[in-house]
Structure 1
């Protein structure tokens, strides 16, 4: 397993999930990642799974190809999985080291297609060159995306560049244990105003989402059906990459103390999964938010786990006027509680099928 890009707790949910899947099916797993990311993975995978993994940290981006070359020198692995794509490293592996893996190397795509087609001609030409590099230069690679709807959306976007069977999907895996009952929030009750928590994500808050939050703030206190709380989660630069300042366990504990989590995704969420939705599996906290392809796919697997709307107007109207059905909310919580094991089982089965193919 190799992640050539992230630091700290970035991509923590995905990489712990893939590590858990790999450990269950391979006798030995070597994981190459930036040093602080290795530390984060060890912390959240726990000692039992971490004991089955050889961690190979790198400290500067200039080291990554050297580190990979040293690890694979003179050896062939059953399977190599890159849990992120970096274009230069992709070309390096396709040209020099595609034989290092007995089976086609797997490359995971995350938000690589977000804003991929810019308004300028030069940007569009650059994008087309990147797509050609990824999807037409080698038959000895396959790509993994986190959800069948995302795969369909990407294939529709890149058109004839997609080789049949080269893009495969597994549901977003989970490699972190859910919070225990005593660390979760109290059940929703009619005796108090339900609290809805919002934590900004990686991408900048869209103007429409910012306006929605401003409209919620202007609701008179005596007229509020929900208490909306915005929790700052600023990020800082590290090794030229962004990492959140908030510890992931602190994020989960904050979510667990709220009755609902407010989900305001950026527009391109048809091309990427949502770690925030997987947080709900770990905390058992229902969501209120905008509908996304990944959310619809997850609902089809675990059942309803919140209130979702096609536009901000519908979401704002709900937050202004909704009368909660407590039985319905309890059903959301039950679906999330059972959904964790469903996702674990489904992602393992889909991963096993990918490895076997």
Structure 2
């Protein structure tokens, strides 16, 4: 029996809305902080299938979300492609060698680094009720490439954007390689039990329109098309954060089953502009959830009402912040669960 979330991603406009939150398994939960203190660093948790499954399930026990999102990281793909991955305290992730000054073919692929993630998916799937949808995910090629080229995150993706202009053939080879590995990775998650998958393009907003077409739309479209062939019927959510008015081109060119919207998108504009009947996901500002109070309820209702005439998964415009109070999440869920179309 399919749950409300999976039905909505498949185009059903139900009277009530499914809800899950990006980064719902994470540092705002005391049970997560306790387990991390016991187990050690972030990457150690990701590669401990038992611990990663427990973290994935923690927010469901507390809040009863309609979806469970795999606890992992988008940089598992470059790690499997042969880059070294470290999460340094206070600095975030670091990949080496950086492809801004090393050739792609200098990497030695380590595909077995994907296997523990599939084990986590299998564990979570076995523990979930049929009504709860298990979501897998991967980073989109542009966003993953920005980390592979620069070796770390950056404000404007300067090194990667410059490389794409300076040597588009070399950068295309990096993108193509990421597309291949990401497609296989998502297929592996689906075979292990994921019922839908999301492509996170966290840095899509940094590109000019022509570059957006080449480095965001084309590679994401290739992944979606391949998944439709290899895993027919499994919904794919595309989330190009920061795309703004380019969302329409993304929706047409990538043709995901559902489209994630960040908090900068006006819900009324999206409801009018995006393809009729396309399910949307989002798009409450995570800082509103952090702040709480009457404005949280008002803005949540604004999002819900704007998308009343199309399938809608309620979510944030990006990940939940680590200092978000538990009581604010509970208040939000009362609003969403009390709303009816």
Greater RCO (CA < 8 Å, at least 6 residues apart): 2
TM-score of the superposed pair, with normalisation by structure 1: 0.32
Q: Which has the larger radius of gyration?
A: 1
